[in-house]
Structure formats: structure tokens, C-alpha cells
Amino acid sequence: MVLFWILACNLIIAQPVIHPWHVTDSGGGKSTGGTLTLRASIGQAAVQPMSVGGANLESGYIAGMRFLSGAATALQVGAADSWNMVSVPLIVSDSHKTALYPSAISNAFSYSAGYTTRDILQNGVGYWLKFGSATVNYFTGTSIGLDSIPVATGWNMIGGISYPVLRSDIVPVGTALISPFFGFAASYQVSDTLYPGQAYWIKVNQSGRLVLTGSVLAVPQISGGRVSAARSTPGTDVSRRIQKELSSLSIRDSSGTIQTLYYTHTSPKGLDQTMYVLPPLPPQGVFDVRYVTQRSLEIADRKSEREILILVSSAVYPVTIWWKSGRALDQGALVIDGRSIPMKAPGEIQVSNPESIIRLRLSASTSAELPKVFLLHQNFPNPFNPTTTIRYDLPSDAYVTLRIYNALGQLVRTLVDETQDAGFKLVAWNSANEAGIPVATGVYFYRLVAAGAASRGQTFTQVKKTLLVR
């Protein structure tokens, strides 16, 4: 069994003072001693190694101090075939790229207003690195429980520490975060957790530092593949729900890699547009799709038509493009080499020429027709198993509830309970109840209640029947 050690003490900046210390293992027990080294963030020893438990360290602290153990710590971090965003999760004796990543088949690229190759890798810095096949990288060294990472105005590619760190636990000093953290798993992915050995993009409004702190009781994650899925939070759950309302445009190249762009004529309530501002382009050879605006979401202009160039980088041709409309209000068209393809209904097209010019055309949002009356449509498909889509129309802003009932009139699931903007709406039901448990075959009823501000207190109610067949 490997114990992961963390030095625990109070941080007092630039004051010569006696600092009591002790060591706790991952189970919370205190050690009777150990060889400890306290290092500054520049990697130089700040004090002499101590070998007696319960002693006092007489020294001043500086900003950016790391708390490290001298006990051997081992980590395994998985890397996927092709390109990965990586970082060094431990203090190691040999920081050369060839020693840390012997199976890598590319240079290591760091970012500072552009990509630069690096032979010696630093803690706290993110790097692009390519592997010929999926592999596991092994690290042995000294764990990092806290770090203060310098960041410059704009985009930065940073590394984590030896422990998972939640976004909510990251403290910006002298700067502010103006984007989510993006990891990489075949494409850029928003992440609310920074994992050891992975790298992440973050955008800040001015130069400063980011303080990352890991739990003294947390054991570093052993990852066997691409960037690990982020822990779900209420904020990310809301973002995923809103994203389902957007119309989408997906591109798959011949290697099977898929990336998705989004568009809409009206911004859904609660939409966080910073989630769709993309980090800088990856190095040459990494498949990437984005609008020329460096975003993955475009919103129609209220008064005039827009055409937005779609940039496709390092794709293996031919590529397949398919789309689906989140709302009937979204009037979009795909323009390929001057040929306009309406996207009112789901469809797909193949593009074989790497020189083709691909654009998204969005009509003015004010030209999109709103519904004339409140209306609940028949779900589709019907009968269904396991998922069906329910559409309804709102001619004005309204407080809406949409609920599913069984044949006995008992509430099964609430799909909508909120104020919504006017427009054509849709919501999916996955045949599960409020607890997330699949319901049995049978007849169910869905009931729409809408109280519109323009209806002078009147409420629209409509009920329809559907059949679930498992």
C-alpha cells in the first residue's frame, strides 16, 4: 500500500516565525517522523530537510509555497492515442520530456501567446503531447498538495497538482477567471475538476496567480484514459439542460472524431455564453472545429442576416456534417461553396473537398415567426420506448408546467416548471419517474399549464395521451 503524505501547517507570508508541523497520511493518522522537504515554487529548497516529527520549522514563507513530502509517491496517469493535454503531477528528479514520457512521439508544446517546444517540463504548466497508442505514464516523486500558478492576461494552459481540485476550490489572486476550465478529450470539454497529470485551459482578465489546494485526505486519482469526467454540480447540470434547447451542427471526419457546434435565434434563459468561448487552436494535427469567432455557439442578430465561417482544422476527409434543430424558431442554413442547404429538418451531408468553404447562415431573429396560440402537440414517437419528444407553442412569455401522470392520475414526472420565453418548445421524456426509475409499460398522460403575462390572468391547459411499450 502506498501512503500519500502532505505537510500540514499554517501559511504565514514573509514573516520569520516558528511554524509547528506534522504529517498526516491519507487515512488521517499522524506520523512519528519522516524526511520532509519544503520547497519554494521555483523549485529551490527553502529550508533544510527535517527528520523529526512534531518539531518546529523556523523560517519565513513566501507566496507560491508548495507543501511536499519526501516520502516516495507513485502516480499512474492514462493517455489516449494521439494528442493529449498533460502536466507533471509530482516533483521528480528528472524533468526531461523523454524521461517523463518515453513513449511520446511528438515534442512537448507549452503555450504563451503561441506554442513553444519544451525539453524540460515544469510543474503547474500544461503541455500538448502526442502518443502513438493509448498508454499509462508512471510518475515517482514528491507530491504537491498546494501550488500557486502564475497566469498571464488571456488564455493559459496550466497543470494540476497531485490531487483532484474542484474549480470552486481554486482561488485567483490579483486576477479573475473569465472562462470555465477546458480539458481535452478528442475535443475541448468543460471541466469543473482538475485532475493530476492532466492540463487545462483557463482565461483570466489580467496577470495574477491561481492557488490550487488539494485535500490532505484525498488519494490521487489513477486515470486510465482521456481526461476524466467532471463531477456534476448544479451549475453544470443547468448548462447541460440549456444546451439541449440549442440547435446543433456536428462534424465527423473519417477517423471517427466528432465535434459539435451550436446555434440559436433566441438566447435561452440562463444561458452562460462564456461556456462556448473556445481556447486557442490546438497544434497542427489535432482535429478541431469552431466558428471563425473562436466560439462554438452563435446567436442570430435581431435585425440582419449573418453568415459565419466554420473553420475545420486537421480533418481526415471526407467529413460528414449533420444537424438538428432544437427549436422550430431557429431558421438556419448550411452554405457549402455557395450552395445553401436549409436546416429546418434534421439532415446530413458529406464534404469531400478539404478546400470547401463552409458557413452557417442565420436569418434575423426578428424575422422568425412566433406561435399564434398556445398549443400542446402530440408526442413523437408514439407509442415509444424508451424516449419521446413533446413539443408545445408559447405565443408569449409564460410560466409553464409540463407534467406526466399515470392512468390513475398519479404524478409520475415534472418535465418543466419555470418561466419561459415565447417560442416553439420541446422537451424529452426518457420514461423515468422523479427518482430516475424507469416506469412500466402503459398509458400515460402529459398536461401542459401555461399562464401568460399577456393573457390577463387566464391559464391555458391541455392534456394528451401517450403509450409506452417496453
Is the link from the previous residue into 346 a cis peptide, with omega within 30 of 0? no
Residue that has been written with the C-alpha cell 406526466 in this structure = 404
CA within 13 Å, CB half, 247 = 29
Out of 12-21, 128-137, 260-269, least confident range: 12-21
Residue scoring higher pLDDT (26 or 461): 461
Out of 157-171, 212-226, 251-265, 360-374, least confident range: 212-226
- Contact by Cβ (8 Å): 452, 397: yes
CA pair distance 369, 414, nearest whole angstrom:
28
Residue 272, pLDDT score: 86
Residue 440 pLDDT > 60: yes
Residue 48 pLDDT > 50: no
Residue 220, pLDDT score: 39
Residue 396 pLDDT > 70: yes
Q: What amino acid is encoded at 467 in this protein?
A: L
The set of cell numbers assigned to 191 is 471541466
Q: Read off the DSSP letter of residue 254.
A: T
Question: Which residue from 356, 370, 470, 380 is spatially nearest to 420, judged by alpha carbons?
Answer: 370
Q: How many CB atoms lie within 10 A of CB 276?
A: 24
CATH number of the domain located at residue range(s) 375-468 in this protein: 2.60.40.4070
How open is the CA angle 354-259-313, to the nearest 5 degrees?
Answer: 35
Residue that has been written with the C-alpha cell 424507469 in this structure = 438
Residue 29 pLDDT > 70: no
For residues 42-63, average pLDDT: 39
For residues 115-122, average pLDDT: 97
Residue 12 pLDDT > 60: no
- Contact by Cβ (8 Å): 35, 51: yes
- Contact by Cβ (8 Å): 148, 211: yes
Question: E strands along 146-280, which residues?
Answer: 146-151, 154-159, 165-166, 171-173, 181-184, 188-191, 193-194, 199-204, 208-213, 247-252, 258-264
Provide the pLDDT confidence category of residue 327 given band limits of 50, 70 and 90. Answer: low
What burial class does residue 24 get, using C-beta atoms within 10 Å of its C-beta: 0-12 exposed, 13-18 middle, 19+ buried?
middle
Residue 8 pLDDT > 50: no
- Contact by Cβ (8 Å): 399, 441: no
Residue 206 pLDDT > 70: yes
Q: Where are the domains of the chain?
A: 1-70, 73-231, 245-367, 375-468
Q: Read off the DSSP letter of residue 169.
A: G
Residue 364, pLDDT score: 75
Tabulate helix, strand, coil % of the chain (nearest 5). Answer: 5, 45, 45
Residue 301, pLDDT score: 84
The set of cell numbers assigned to 333 is 442554413
Residue 215, pLDDT score: 54
Provide the pLDDT confidence category of residue 146 given band limits of 50, 70 and 90. Answer: confident
Distance of CA 454 to the CA centre of its chain: 39
Q: Which residues contact 142 (CB under 8 A, 6 or more apart)?
A: 37, 68, 69, 70, 71, 73, 90, 91, 92
Residue 266, pLDDT score: 78
Out of 216-225, 237-246, 411-420, least confident range: 216-225
Q: What percent of the chain has pLDDT over 90?
A: 59
CA pair distance 96, 215, nearest whole angstrom:
28
The set of cell numbers assigned to 284 is 497542427
Residue 89, pLDDT score: 94
Residue 455, pLDDT score: 59
CA pair distance 461, 451, nearest whole angstrom:
9
Residue 34, pLDDT score: 38
DSSP characters over 298-351? EE--SSS-EEEEEEEES--SSEEEEEE-SSTT--EEEEETTEEEE-SS-EEEEE
Residue 30, pLDDT score: 33
Residue 367, pLDDT score: 54
Residue 372, pLDDT score: 86
CA dihedral 212, 152, 312, 245 (to 10 degrees): 60
Residue 342, pLDDT score: 87
Contacts 24+ apart (CB under 8 A), 459-462: 460/374, 460/398, 462/374, 462/375, 462/376
